[in-house]
Amino acid sequence: MKHVLIFGGTGHMGAAIRRHLAPARYRITTVTRNPKRPDDVQWDGKTLGPWTETLDGADVVIN
């Protein structure tokens, strides 16, 4: 299964991308300031932190 990492995935475009990819059974991780789903990862937009670990193994990064 391909792993897609989306920065800003809770915004208008990010949500549309998630809806488009979900039926294709991609593993989707959203990096966001306000995580809402279990697969969301928090990032304040300023500092490095645990979110950087999500880059390892990601097949695609969308920003």
pLDDT (tens digit per residue) in 1-59: 899 999 988 889 999 999 999 899 899 999 999 998 898 999 988 999 888 999 998 99
Tell me the one-letter amino acid at 50: P
Predicted pLDDT of residue 45: 85
Residue 62, pLDDT above cutoff 90: yes
pLDDT score of 60: 95
Domain ranges of the chain: 3-62
DSSP state of 53: G
* The pair of three-digit structure tokens given for residue 31, joined into one six-digit string: 């990096």
